[in-house]
Structure 1
């Protein structure tokens, strides 16, 4: 059995980690739902490349650097080209396609994108749509997801439709996580520990240690989840 060079292995793992981290930061692809088919294939091949070379002692540091670096440059080059040249986006990234019109699936678009009915229905359910009949327009995005515009009778009513008064919307601020006070958030709200202690006491808590999560919303007050 071939002996593993720990030093070489460590360097390769670190290079692979930094490369993947760098790609995520530069491209901004922090979620799998943001990946186009091109990005997905690139990441798969890069992962395969790393796994095949990391444990191979015969591949030294310089060839490893060269291979990973070249692959990364190619990917970022394509990313740059698709941003600057509109004509290349269709080929390399893909374009959105209207796959549903007025509750009817476009078979040609589905066939072109290698989708069957079950796959389309599954994608709709992921968007909380459980019947094609509800969809006025369904757009197949470049990342494979379907964005939907529902028919008017299936859309949820808005406040203006019900003549309800408009209420201000406040963003909740987290004050405690796992028994630890987030002081920056507390001070940003203009409150101090005495104010927080009073709120905790009013809700039956001696201190923050028994609290898993607590947040504050101006028009609703404090909300506490115990440990």
Structure 2
């Protein structure tokens, strides 16, 4: 009888977890952020303790997982719906190397030291900080690197050409919302951005899903809805 009771709990927990992952998405599995990592641990503990605790009825397992899953879904929904909440729920990347110089303040805010930074760079097949133009510590603890032009895979040195300056792409619009701080950092105003969007056939910021500025390549725009394709 006890084995039947445990088996029924396991079957119920299995299908509830399967449904929860299908609804929330892959972030819980991939441990996209520390929040998702902790959520997965707590969820497994809730289910594991409930399965092997004789005094806990099946309805308690159902109730617990539904409440926890509902909270996870709410957080995911709010982070998708409201851009200003994203940084609180998911965190923001920290630029620890800027223009080839290590930013010690950002490094300390990321709770990292030079040795840990070098270790992350080596895992990205970079064995010298001198090769790095920009580096970000992402919310999940990984590192993203933009190399200086002489050290990129197809190097200018191979063609005996002088190195070119490296520019960092600047995100100006995300999910239809203007990132004013980035626009201000570029010393540009709203009128300049409107002219740039107009040259791309877009009249409003709200119509843009993503827009990025690169100094030597101009504005790259992805609209919310792609233009209709002409039938051939």
Is the shorter-chain TM-score for this pair beyond 0.5, marking a shared fold? yes
* Structure 1 residue 93, shift from structure 2 partner: 0.8
Counterpart position of 2:81: 84
Counterpart position of 2:153: 156
**Relative to structure 1, is the Cα distance of residues 155 and 34 closer, same or farther in structure 2, using a 3 angstrom cutoff?**
farther
- Answer yes or no: is the 8 Å Cα contact 1:102–1:133 preserved in 2: no
Confirm whether residue 56 of structure 1 aligns to residue 62 of structure 2: no
Counterpart position of 1:11: 8
Confirm whether residue 107 of structure 1 aligns to residue 117 of structure 2: no
**Relative to structure 1, is the Cα distance of residues 15 and 118 closer, same or farther in structure 2, using a 3 angstrom cutoff?**
farther
5+ residue gaps, structure 2, are 160-232
Confirm whether residue 69 of structure 1 aligns to residue 60 of structure 2: no
In structure 2, C-alpha distance between the alignment counterparts of 1:32 and 1:106, rounded to whole Å: 32
Counterpart position of 2:223: none
Deviations 1:149-201 (A, max 9, x none): 00011101179x86xxxxxxxxxxxxxxxxxxxxxxxxxxxxxxxxxxxxxxx
In structure 1, C-alpha distance between the alignment counterparts of 2:43 and 2:28, rounded to whole Å: 17
- Answer yes or no: is the 8 Å Cα contact 1:82–1:89 preserved in 2: yes
Deviations 1:57-106 (A, max 9, x none): 10000111101111011111101110001111111111122111133322
- Answer yes or no: is the 8 Å Cα contact 2:28–2:39 preserved in 1: no
Counterparts of residues 126-141 of structure 1 (less than 5 Å): 126-141=123-138
- Answer yes or no: is the 8 Å Cα contact 2:93–2:136 preserved in 1: yes
Deviations 1:116-155 (A, max 9, x none): 2222222222222222221100011121111100001110
**Relative to structure 1, is the Cα distance of residues 128 and 23 closer, same or farther in structure 2, using a 3 angstrom cutoff?**
farther
Counterpart position of 1:118: 115
In structure 1, C-alpha distance between the alignment counterparts of 2:135 and 2:37, rounded to whole Å: 23
Using structure 2 for the length normalisation, give the TM-score: 0.61
5+ residue gaps, structure 1, are 163-227
Larger of the two Rg values belongs to structure = 1
In structure 1, C-alpha distance between the alignment counterparts of 2:27 and 2:126, rounded to whole Å: 26
**Relative to structure 1, is the Cα distance of residues 99 and 23 closer, same or farther in structure 2, using a 3 angstrom cutoff?**
farther
* Structure 1 residue 35, shift from structure 2 partner: 1.3
Counterpart position of 1:168: none
In structure 2, C-alpha distance between the alignment counterparts of 1:30 and 1:84, rounded to whole Å: 17
**Relative to structure 1, is the Cα distance of residues 25 and 117 closer, same or farther in structure 2, using a 3 angstrom cutoff?**
farther
In structure 2, C-alpha distance between the alignment counterparts of 1:44 and 1:126, rounded to whole Å: 26
Confirm whether residue 98 of structure 1 aligns to residue 95 of structure 2: yes
- Answer yes or no: is the 8 Å Cα contact 1:123–1:145 preserved in 2: yes
